[in-house]
Amino acid sequence: MLIMALGLALSAWASLLSADSNMRLAFSLFGIIAFAAALFIYIFQVPAVIV
């Protein structure tokens, strides 16, 4: 979950930058990569609870 929070923070920071900034693109890409990595970890490495 911490990785997903980092991706959300990077995306929020990117939204504050001007549209012409290259850092906006970089922060957006890093945010998407962090979200995808966290989603992969959550789906494939967190054990399911079977009742």
Asked whether residue 50 is assigned to any structural domain, the reply reads no
35 Cβ contact list (under 8 Å, min separation 6) = 4, 7, 8, 11
Asked whether residue 14 is assigned to any structural domain, the reply reads yes
Domain count for the chain = 1
Give the pLDDT confidence score for residue 41 in this predicted structure.
87
pTM of the model: 0.72
Asked whether residue 51 is assigned to any structural domain, the reply reads no
Asked whether residue 28 is assigned to any structural domain, the reply reads yes
* Chain segment 4-50, per-residue pLDDT in tens: 888 888 888 888 888 888 888 888 888 889 889 988 988 888 787 77
Asked whether residue 24 is assigned to any structural domain, the reply reads yes
Query: What HEC string does 5-48 produce?
Result: HHHHHHHHHHHHCCCCCHHHHHHHHHHHHHHHHHHHHHHHHCCC
Print the domain residue range for 16.
2-45
Asked whether residue 29 is assigned to any structural domain, the reply reads yes
